[in-house]
């Protein structure tokens, strides 16, 4: 189910680490289907009908599971086998290019999700999906989306019919290998407006993240994602957040709840869809999300988890199958593994799969438990704020709970809070428990993945991969690194000018300063043996106004 001010220094340093994570394309690239401008007949291709599930029975089951440690189901996945190249209608155009189209229809569906067992597109070709009126168009999907394992998924298309259109330029003879083996029949959370896919489904008390309550949390919000979780024959809504790690290397770790797809296979995980930046531009609810651009990533691997909703802290740590593109403006949220109860803070989430919301707590968290294991969860009670009284709902599962410093201290398991019970408590699995208290196995802890060098860090600020690099040099040499306290820095000659050397901690605070005359030496020596082991940054303010920044890993002198 279910600040924090930013540190300007971070924008100066993060470019140093962005290059450590390989770039990867987003789920789709700009483009339009050929049928929009080639004057092709609209109904000259086959339609494959998918049997609708018993939605009355599904809704009856859902009434007993929402918000009680069982993620919010909104779609039933119906098996099929459709090979686009073999079963679609091929048409050759005047320039020698070809178009292949087919439609998939399931009567009564609010929207459809296509799941693929094979997804291989020849280089130069393009694939699009759209509704009957072509008001929602997904794509172009290209060879950059090909998957070695074959499993793939595409974003929800509104309405009961989805049209698939493949375009192949002249000179390409290879056929696509695109096989659809399941169709997600969306039977709830997409009924409010045309073009909705969870949009507008949350309770009237919820608060958009663009409202005044979110003014200090815009960085943290960039790391929160809406997730279509596939497990077997069901698809459910959940929320989650990107996480920073002590290597500061922008590895796309994502935290959610373990009860979000607790038994999902790797094939299922390869078809999870993560939506970033799915939010209103203003405090007021927009009337539709049809004009939204969708920033999505498909697929992940589970690396660690601790129990389901009733066991331990209910966390799941995922590694996304691809890096988050720069244009998504991602933020890798910081975290705290300390046990101290947070006095106040917020959660940022996607209730009912809706646009991003924010809920506020103003009294200290209480240590509690959800299942039989004691001290695994934080109990939180939501507060009324200037805009409304935000809570959580089905679809908020896995959403991050932040302390006043903007650090994640837990992820949502469940609870009784709702727009009709705003004072009822919710329960978040403790980050501190998930860190290393579940057991000794790495696959049941966060620590081995988020502190891989075992530096002993218990709190880490978030970072972004969008850097302000103006007037910034990148050739600062620090050695040895990692280091035990005696640090050497190679300086560039600055025409007999002096340079200022600053050492900053992970929070951006200056903890050491020194002036060095570059006319007398090209190597500066620092004695940092008095500092605790951890991550630090060395910043050189040069005489011409430029700066250079480097990361130092301090092992500790003792």
> Catalytic residues, which ones?
259, 314, 397
Sheet arrangement for strand 472-473: 472-473, 547-554, 534-541, 498-504, 510-517
Query: Pairing relation of β-strands 400-402 and 345-349?
Result: antiparallel
Q: What is the chain's length?
A: 558
Show the beta-strand stretches assigned E in 483-529. Answer: 486-490, 498-504, 510-517, 523-527
Exposed e or buried b per residue across 144-171, where buried means at least 16 C-beta atoms within 10 angstroms of its C-beta: ebbbeebbbbbbbbbbbbbbbbbbbeee
Backbone angles phi, psi at 353, to 5 degrees: 75, 15
**490 and 529 in contact (C-beta within 8 Å)?**
no
Instruction: Kindly list the distances between the CA atom of residue 79 and the CA atoms of 264, 298, 359, in Å, as whole numbers in the listed order.
Output: 17, 20, 38
Contact of 59 with 73, CB cutoff 8 Å: no
For 523, left (φ over 0), alpha (ψ -120 to 50), or beta?
beta
Nearest to 270 by CA among 150, 189, 161, 186: 150
Q: What pairing do the DSSP bridges indicate for beta strands 152-153 and 72-83?
A: unpaired
Distance CA 31, CA 137 (A): 9
Residues contacting 64, CB < 8 A, separation 6+: none
Contact partners, residue 30, CB within 8 Å, separation at least 6: 140
What is residue 207's DSSP assignment? -
Burial class (CB in 10 A: 0-12, 13-18, 19+), 22: exposed
Q: Establish whether the linkage from the previous residue to 556 is cis, with ω within 30° of 0.
A: no
Query: For 307-375, where are the E strands, in sequence order?
Result: 315-320, 331-332, 335-336, 345-349, 357-361, 366-368
Taking CA atoms, 45 is separated from 75, 115, 116, 154, 163, in Å, by 26, 21, 20, 21, 10
Q: How far apart, in Å, are the Cα atoms of 84 and each of 32, 98, 120, 457? A: 19, 13, 11, 51
């Amino acid at each position: 189910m279910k600040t924090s001010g930013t540190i300007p220094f971070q924008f100066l340093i993060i470019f140093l680490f962005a290059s450590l994570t390989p770039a990867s394309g987003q789920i789709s690239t700009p483009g339009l289907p050929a049928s929009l401008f080639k004057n092709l007949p609209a109904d000259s291709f086959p339609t494959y009908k998918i049997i609708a599930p018993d939605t009355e029975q599904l809704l009856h089951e859902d009434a007993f599971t929402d918000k009680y440690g069982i993620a919010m189901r909104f779609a039933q996945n119906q098996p099929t086998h459709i090979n686009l190249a073999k079963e679609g209608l091929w048409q050759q155009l005047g320039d020698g290019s070809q178009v292949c189209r087919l439609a998939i229809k399931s009567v009564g569906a609010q929207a459809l999700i296509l799941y693929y067992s094979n997804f291989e597109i020849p280089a130069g070709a393009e694939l699009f999906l759209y509704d009957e009126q072509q008001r929602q168009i997904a794509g172009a999907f290209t060879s950059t989306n090909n998957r070695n394992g074959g499993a793939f998924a595409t974003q929800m298309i509104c309405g009961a019919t989805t049209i698939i259109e493949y375009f192949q330029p002249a000179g390409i003879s290879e056929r696509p290998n695109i096989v659809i083996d399941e169709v997600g029949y969306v039977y709830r959370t997409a009924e409010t407006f045309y073009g909705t896919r969870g949009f507008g489904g949350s309770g009237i008390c919820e608060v958009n993240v663009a409202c005044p309550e979110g003014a200090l949390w815009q960085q943290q919000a960039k790391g929160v994602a809406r997730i279509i979780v596939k497990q077997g024959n069901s698809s459910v809504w959940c929320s989650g957040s990107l996480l920073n790690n002590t290597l500061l290397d922008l590895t796309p770790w994502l935290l959610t709840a373990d009860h979000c797809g607790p038994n999902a296979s790797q094939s299922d995980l390869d078809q999870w869809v993560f939506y970033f930046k799915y939010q209103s531009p203003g405090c007021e609810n927009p009337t539709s999300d049809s004009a939204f651009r969708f920033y999505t990533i498909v697929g992940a691997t589970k690396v660690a988890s601790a129990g389901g909703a009733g066991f331990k802290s209910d966390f799941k740590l995922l590694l996304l199958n691809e890096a988050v593109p720069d244009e998504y403006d991602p933020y890798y949220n910081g975290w705290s593994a300390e046990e101290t109860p947070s006095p106040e803070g917020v959660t940022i989430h996607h209730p009912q799969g809706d646009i991003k919301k924010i809920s506020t707590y103003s009294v200290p968290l209480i240590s509690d438990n959800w299942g039989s294991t004691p001290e695994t969860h934080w109990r939180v009670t939501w507060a009324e704020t200037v805009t409304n009284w935000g809570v959580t709902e089905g679809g908020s599962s896995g959403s991050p709970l932040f302390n006043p410093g903007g650090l994640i201290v837990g992820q949502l398991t469940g609870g009784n809070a709702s727009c009709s019970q705003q004072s009822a408590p919710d329960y978040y699995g403790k980050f501190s428990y998930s860190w290393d208290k579940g057991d000794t196995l790495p696959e049941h802890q966060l620590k081995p993945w988020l502190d891989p060098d075992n530096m002993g860090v218990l709190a880490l600020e978030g970072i972004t991969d969008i850097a302000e690099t103006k007037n910034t040099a990148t050739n600062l040499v620090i050695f040895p690194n990692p280091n035990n306290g005696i640090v050497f820095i190679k300086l560039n000659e600055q025409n007999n000018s002096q340079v200022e050397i600053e050492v900053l901690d992970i929070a951006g605070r200056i903890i050491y300063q020194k002036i060095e005359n570059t006319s007398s030496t090209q190597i500066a020596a620092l004695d940092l043996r008095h500092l605790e082991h951890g991550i630090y940054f060395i910043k050189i303010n040069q005489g011409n106004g430029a700066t250079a920044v480097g990361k130092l890993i301090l092992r500790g002198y003792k």
